[in-house]
Structure 1
Amino acid sequence: MKGQRLLLRSVKIEEALVAEFTDKVMDIFKKNTVGPQKYLNTYKKYIDLMNNKADQEVSAFLKETHAIPGFRKKIESYQRLKDEIASLRITVPLSLFCLDCIALNQELCNRTQKLKNRLVVFEVDENRQLNRELCHQYDDISEKITEEPKTTEELVSLINFLRKSQDVTAFKLKGYVDDAARRLEFLLDYAQFSYEDIKLNSQVFHWPEQLQTIFDASSTKLQTGREKSEDEVKSKVKAFEEKLAGYEKEVEGFKKKEMMNTDEMKNNVELLDRLESDLTQARDELEQINMEEKLLEFEQTAFPQVQAMFQSKDPYDKLWRTAYSFTQKHEKWQHGPFQAMNAEDIDNDVNDMWRLMYKLNKTFSDIVGPRTVADKIRRKIEQFKAHLPLLHVICNPGIRDRHWERMSDIVQADIKPQEETSLMNMVEIGLSDPKVIEKLEEISGAASKEYSLEKAMEKMKLEWKDMVFEFIAYRDTGVSILSSVDDIQVLLDDHIIKAQTMRGSPFIKPFEQEMKEWEEKLVMMQDILDQWLKVQATWLYLEPIFSSEDIIAQMPEEGRKFATVDTYWKDIMAESVKDTHCLAATAQNNMLGRLTEANQLLEEILKGLNNYLEKKRLFFPRFFFLSNDELLEILSETKDPTRVQPHLKKCFEGIARLEFTEEQEIVGMISSDGETVPYVHKIIPAKAKGMVEKWLVEVEEAMLYNVRKVTSDSVKDYSATPRRKWVLSWPGQVVICCSSIYWTSEVSEAMKTPNGMNEYLEKSNKQIDEIVELVRGKLETGRESDTGCSDCYRCPCS
């Protein structure tokens, strides 16, 4: 219409026309997607390249060991795969669609090429590593055979190495070079080498020829060296012979040496020391020469005169060393302070020297000079031996001032030595007279025995110095108790016997008082330890008992006495722990008296405790079935009547436990089979005011009364209840009793009735079969049923 504005409006997706065309387009699209989807099957064979499975396969392949053919086959397989992918179509026209495969094909080719390259690079790296190792081996051989040997041993070793390298190693390495050539031939088809790789390959192939040249030069040089070594060994042998001749002259020279002064003796000893050193070096040198001869395959030169010279020198060595040693010691023994000397050591030295000189005198029987020396030294030794008895007397470490005074009285002169007094001073006084020495030996012998006793006492005291008591904490009381005293008791017994034996010795007089005090100390310690252990054992038994307020309330006198003992005990233990050394711990003030008093009080406590328990047992005789510990456990917790439960089996044969209410009232008794007998009248233990035996008497009376009542009720129930149910409704003891009553009654009646016994036999067999059936079935424990049947014991309703 003229003047009307035309408007273009948008369409909505839900309009019918739009929806119709959309559906047609989607239908055409779906029909045209069938072709592209089917074309995807063309790439299924390359799926391993896409999901990295091919990469994993190459990794697994490289972890294994493969020869060159294996690598060639693997590389070519990837090359063929790449060529195959590259030959695929890059565009695929399919009706509505035209697939562009350029990017996909290129990516698959790239991945295939990477896998191929990975294999090639691996083989290149492996080839490089093997070539380097091969060159290192050639380098090592070259370096080794061009060394300059410094000794014959090194020369022979190098010759042997050269021979082995030429005969064995070179052929082995040539095989490795051939392997390198095959690897190179393979890699030239696939890889491009760097300059370093090309240089390395060249070195590998030039080494065999180069090594042979080195072999030839080294062989000539080593042969020259061997000839030189042979000449040197021959020169050493000749020089060694001349050296031995000189040593023989030195040894022979000692045949002409006679007795000389001390300086010349010293010089002879020094000459012998030097000769000993020279001969030792010569022996080592001979071993070295023989070793070189063996290496050079010479016949080994023997020099028996080396060992012969050792043997020839040995008598002269002993002669002059002993002569020099005796000359030095003789001066010291005679004129040195004798108080610093040991008579036993001197006696041994003198006798050893005399025996040696006696043997040497026979050894040198045909050699005048050395024999003269041996004779002179032997005579000097014999002269000095005459003073040995006196030396034993005056060098006794046990001699005290009192002994010197007694010896002075014998010789009528003051012989108490000063620091510088010597053996010769004593000889000049006249002590070397055999008669005087005999008297002095008695005093010296007594001094030795006194000294041994004194040392034994000191040793005992020393052993006790570090001896300590072991203490362990006792529960959570804060008190410690003695532990592991067996070793102390053994040592104590041993030392008391030793001390008593020593006191009986006639040589104990000088320190008899000290020994007496020590013996008394040991005996005191033993008494203390005996009392201590006795108190501890009883205290450990009574402490838990008197920790109960109920026991203390019922035994106030014994409780007061135990408090006294407990105070003594804790004071003693606290003081002992401060210093655990045995001597210190047992030195407490009046320790034995306190322990003895404690033991007396403990005996009174035990006596009172036994009387107390006896009264309880007399009041309730069933307590006789319980031990003291079990009875005390009950009596120490009177406020808790359930503490009686574990011991009821011993007091009452049929009662395993009592049935308590929450208010601690007793309403029944239970057997070990779980059968419960309720009480007609409940028992209240609290009314007994802590007297357990009192309410247990009530339990006993209730037991008798209720068993009689249950038995009476069961007899009445027998005729009113089927026997099968009746048997399960009452306690086993009651069932047996009532069954016996009715059996007696029924048998009596049956005997009065004609044919009654046969009928009753049949009835009895039927009852037995019922019982057997019940026994074979599942029986419930006797307890009150959920139905409220308070009188059932093995009731089916339970």
Structure 2
Amino acid sequence: MRQKIDDSTLLSMPGTKDEFTIETNAQLALDIQHDIQVIADQVAKNAEYQLLFNVKEDKFEDLGQLQKDIELRVTLWNSMIQWEKMQQNWMTAEFKELNPDTINQNIAKFTKAYNKLERELPPNGAVPKAKQRVQQMTQAYPVVYNLRNKDLKPHHWVKIKELLYLDPDAKESDFTLEQLIQIGAIEKRGELASISDEASSEAVLNELLHQVMDKWQHMELHAKPFHGESYLLVDIDDLMRELDDSQVQLATIRGSRHVGPIKEMVDFWVSRLAYFNEVLDDWSKKFHECDKFWHDIMKACYEFPSALRATTQPGLANIFRQHNQTMDQIQVALNGLLNTKRNAFGRFFFLPNDDLLEILKEGKNPMKVMPYMNKLFDNIKTLDFSNPDDVRRMEIIAMISGEGETVQFGEEKVIPRSKPVEVWMKAIETTMVKVLKKLASEAIIEHTQLPRPQWILSTKAQHVISISQIMWTAQVEAALQSEKPVDEMKKLQLKCEKQLEELTEVVRGNLETLQRISVGALIVVDVHARDIVEEMVRDGVSSVNDFDWKKRLRYYWEAQPSKSGKPPSQKAVNTVTSLIGQASGLIGKDKKKQQKQGQA
């Protein structure tokens, strides 16, 4: 075995004319390793027998060294096979599929392995050749690293294509690493590195610019009520600190030699923040002038209460008029700010200025906005939060009605972090509509699968009313469109009475408070529906086009096409010849609102 292991074939790199290849050498090493393992197994078995019969154990001191030596040779040839496969894949794959991190990790891994083999194997020709192949890939790696830079933009690729004489219309899928090496990319890796560094620097500058832009898109002026009729700007010092920081950041970006592609946008924001600073200074000065004048005149009145002396000073009336005009300008500007917020989220029009200012003041902490939810939404009393004590990790996961019914948002949860209050409020509104439509769609399917009493108790309250009306409308129209409409309408009348009997049994049961409210509201609606059917039977209505049916308030579930090609459904109300789309807003188990929703 020692002669086989020491055979120079196992440590020689096969030439082009040799009958041996890397694969045959690897197999030869594996065969020898197998033979040695057979011997080792036999030695172990003999040792067991010798121990059993209390015979002195034979020593095979060279066996361990043989196993170690052959393991090194197996590792050498297997690693070379593995490297060749990887290198071939890297060379021929579409360039856009290459992962620089994976290549770099494998270069480091195989370099370390070959260094170890070089130390532990006797001098040979195979390990240096293997290291040389890894070194070749090490030289090509900078090409991959620089050209797979995610920050490269079209104007960088123009330079790269000119440098490498590539087709101007070529894409990353049009060439391979092997082709790039053939046209001399390795020799130009320094120039490629410069272009890549330029792209990375521009990306950093662009990120810094967008940080400033995002910050100021969400920056708000805070005002608080003043004596019930006016407002005071507050937290101006914080605002000015943010302004100073942003102006320093913009100056840094502007001074970089890589600012070229975004210079126009940088100049715009430098100018914009400078103008903001100028306006805010004038605004503050105007207010402080008015405020100082007011305090001075009131102090003088207190110290010298003479009516004539306080009111007949020369020019006093003109000063009052001037400051009143200034205060009017400030009030107009503040109203403009509030109207901007109201236009961004229409439900803010429901609120007086004082409430809206309080919401804007506390908007960064959604928990403090909850007292105003009932004024903004018909019956959302509050919202449910995950991580309510940590604004940075807070998520809005559900809405809760005034009666305590909870509707989970599921995957549609809202993340208010670092967003203006009008933005995350708008997201709440959008999510409310989407979730309620989805639940309505599911409730319609479940209505056909579950017994009605069970369906009523397991479905959200407002959907119990609306889906019941949709189903009732469908049943009436199915009867009127049948071959014997009068007979079918009589059957429907009996069905309506049976449903009322079922509800009577349900309401006599052990119901939770919220379930009892829901069932109570449905009874009122079902009685109304039965009465309509009775009237139509009495009057002999036999067609969906009969005015006695057309005049009724009818609910439908109608499909609407969408851009995704998926047909979403929505509830629609039809009366006479008018079709009205109905929005999805939470009304919970409010009995009066449910009855109003369900009655014709």
In the superposition, the TM-score normalised over structure 2's length comes to 0.39
In the superposition, the TM-score normalised over structure 1's length comes to 0.30
By percentage of residues, which structure has more helix? 1
Q: Which has the higher contact order (CA 8 A, sep 6+)?
A: 2
